[in-house]
């Protein structure tokens, strides 16, 4: 406004340029109603102990009367804390990560944090795009299922400064924090377990995701060392099926296995669903479990214990993973240092009827 127009010198100061005014109740309205400054109303809601009981009372009444709901977008922008945590899973369709996601959601909700869910697919391509939209929300933390392999992704995440928890795997060089277990150790221990149970011709059915393949490899190597492979072979028979794994691929997998190697006496499946498929196919063919064929699954899903025969499987404590990840993120978000940011939750071989 470089020149004054001809209008009266005492003209009312040009009225406030009001914008889209979402129309909603704001903290200002509440404060006005309670007869205090907005910041005081803010304190009454966020740090009740910092205001007088009388003011607290008045503000609460005003909130009640107006039905005010704080705008956390605005709050997050101002305070640089979004109270949002992003989780990235390959797919939510496979039941494997559910327990982790559920525990994560609950543990976060208890502390006033919300979960944003992203699916990366089992191929890496979408992960980078997903990362961009996640970082754009300025979450207080990111939980990854599996470790981030793409160097580009690691860089972005690191650069963003957002606390990151990688899960469901172990690496000496996590981006930031880690809650997981060793897939290699699982493979080796299952092989040893089957060996102790007297199995000598073992095989695997494995999803084609990277972690399952690593379990398979470790299993195969250990089995060879224990003399459970065909003489002269340096690996055990195996079928790879596309992730996410299903009962159907388990049935077909064991059928393929049996066609090529009728003499196998044990199968290590990369998921309980696959194992259920093996049990199903065995039942259909009249193969006795575990006498003719021992079966080991992975996941200890809710149905494993109640199957007939009950499924021997590798239990991963997804709940602990989820809760620990939540704790790590919240500690960081609230400025508490995380003592030991690498946590191995281990695993358990749950011995049941099928092996």
Partner DNA sequence: ATGAAAGCGCTAACAG
Partner DNA sequence: CTGTTAGCGCTTTCAT
The window from 38-46, 53-61, 90-98, 330-338 that contacts its own copies (CB under 8 A) reads: 90-98
Provide, rounded to whole angstroms, the least separation between the CB of residue 111 and DNA. 16
Structural Rg of the chain based on CA atoms? 28
Pick one of 57, 61, 65, 74: the residue that binds DNA (CB under 7 A): 74
| Residues 290 to 309 in contact with its own copies, rule: CB under 8 A | 302-303, 305-308
Q: Which of 1, 9, 12, 22 binds its own copies (CB under 8 A)?
A: 22
**CA dist 165 to 126, 273, 295, 303, 338, Å?**
19, 27, 33, 29, 12
CB under 8 A: which stretch of 48-56, 117-125, 167-175, 182-190 binds its own copies? 117-125
- Binding partner of residue 39 among its own copies, DNA, none, CB cut-off 5 to 8 Å per kind: DNA
Q: According to the binding rule CB under 7 A, does residue 78 interact with DNA?
A: yes
**Residue with smaller CB distance to its own copies, 52 or 302:** 302
237, 257 Cβ separation under 8 angstroms: yes
Instruction: Name the binder of 54 from DNA, its own copies, none, CB < 5-8 A by kind.
Output: DNA
Q: Which residues from 232-291 bind DNA, rule CB under 7 A? A: none
Q: Using DSSP, state whether 23 is helix, strand or coil.
A: coil
DSSP string covering 182-247:
-HHHHHHHHHHHHHHTT--SEEEEEESSHHHHHHHHHHHHHHHHTT-S-TT-SS--EEEEPSSP-H
| Residue 153 Rama label (left phi>0; alpha psi -120 to 50; beta) | alpha
* Candidate segments 39-47, 282-290, 314-322, 342-350, binder of DNA by CB under 7 A: 39-47
Whichever of 138 and 197 has its CB closer to DNA, that residue is 138
Contact between residue 114 and residue 75 where contact means Cβ atoms under 8 Å apart: no
CB 194 within 8 A of CB 202: yes
Interaction of residue 36 with DNA, rule CB under 7 A = yes
**Residue 243: CB partners within 8 Å, gap ≥ 6?**
90, 94, 122, 207, 208, 209, 212
Distance CA 200, CA 222 (A): 12
Measure the CA dihedral 214/171/321/110, to 10°: -140
Choice between 50 and 109, CB closer to DNA: 50
117 binds, among its own copies, DNA, none (CB under 5 to 8 A by kind): its own copies
Q: How far apart are the first and last CA of the chain?
A: 85
Whether the CA torsion 30, 36, 38, 44 is positive or negative: it is: negative
Q: Which of 40, 145, 167, 182 binds DNA (CB under 7 A)?
A: 40
Report the distance separating Cα 322 and Cα 143, nearest Å: 9
109 binds, among its own copies, DNA, none (CB under 5 to 8 A by kind): its own copies
Number of residues that bind its own copies (CB under 8 A): 63
Can you tell me the distance from the alpha carbon of 111 to that of 140, in angstroms, rounded to the nearest whole number?
13
Q: Does 335 bind its own copies (CB under 8 A)?
A: no
| 273 binds its own copies per the rule CB under 8 A | yes
Which range touches its own copies (CB under 8 A), out of 2-10, 49-57, 228-236, 241-249? 241-249
Q: Is 55 in the site for DNA (CB under 7 A)?
A: yes
Rounded Cα distance, 271 and 206, in Å: 8
The answer to whether residue 150 forms part of the interface with its own copies (CB under 8 A) is no
Residues of this chain that bind its own copies (CB under 8 A): 20, 22-24, 67, 69-74, 76-77, 80, 82, 84, 91-93, 95, 98-99, 101-102, 105-106, 109, 112, 114-119, 130, 132-138, 156, 159-161, 246-248, 251, 273, 276-277, 280-281, 283-284, 302-303, 305-308
Residue ranges that bind DNA, judged by CB under 7 A: 1, 16-22, 24, 26-28, 36-40, 42-43, 45-46, 49-52, 54-55, 68, 70-71, 74-75, 77-80
């Amino acid at each position: 406004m470089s020149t004054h127009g001809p209008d009266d010198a005492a003209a009312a100061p040009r009225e406030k340029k009001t914008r889209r005014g979402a129309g909603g109740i704001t903290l200002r309205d509440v404060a006005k109603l309670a007869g205090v400054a907005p910041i005081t109303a803010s304190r009454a809601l966020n740090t009740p102990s910092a205001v007088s009981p009388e003011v607290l009372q008045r503000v609460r009444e005003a909130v009640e009367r107006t039905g005010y709901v704080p705008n956390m977008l605005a709050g997050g922008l101002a305070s640089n804390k979004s109270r949002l945590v992003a989780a990235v899973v390959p797919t939510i369709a496979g039941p494997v990560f559910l327990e982790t996601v559920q525990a994560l959601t609950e543990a976060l909700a208890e502390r006033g944090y919300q979960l944003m869910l992203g699916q990366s697919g089992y191929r890496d391509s979408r992960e980078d795009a997903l990362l961009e939209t996640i970082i754009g929300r300025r979450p207080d933390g990111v939980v990854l299922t599996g470790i981030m392999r793409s160097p580009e992704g690691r860089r972005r995440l690191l650069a963003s400064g957002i606390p990151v928890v990688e899960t469901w795997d172990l690496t000496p060089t996590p981006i930031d924090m880690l809650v997981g277990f060793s897939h290699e150790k699982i493979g080796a221990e299952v092989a040893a377990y089957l060996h102790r149970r007297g199995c000598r011709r073992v095989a695997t059915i494995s999803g084609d995701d990277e972690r399952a393949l690593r379990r398979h490899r470790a299993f195969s190597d250990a089995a060879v060392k224990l003399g459970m492979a065909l003489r002269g072979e340096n690996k055990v028979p195996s079928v790879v099926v596309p992730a996410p794994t299903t009962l159907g691929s388990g049935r077909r997998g064991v059928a393929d296995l049996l066609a090529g190697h009728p003499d196998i006496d044990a199968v290590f499946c990369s998921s309980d669903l696959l194992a259920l498929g093996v049990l199903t196919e065995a039942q259909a063919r009249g193969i006795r479990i575990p006498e003719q064929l021992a079966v080991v699954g992975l996941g200890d899903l809710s149905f494993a214990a109640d199957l007939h025969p009950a499924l021997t499987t590798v239990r991963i404590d997804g709940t602990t993973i989820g809760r620990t990840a939540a704790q790590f993120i919240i500690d960081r978000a609230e400025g508490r240092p995380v003592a030991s940011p690498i946590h191995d939750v281990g695993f358990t071989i749950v011995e049941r009827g099928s092996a």
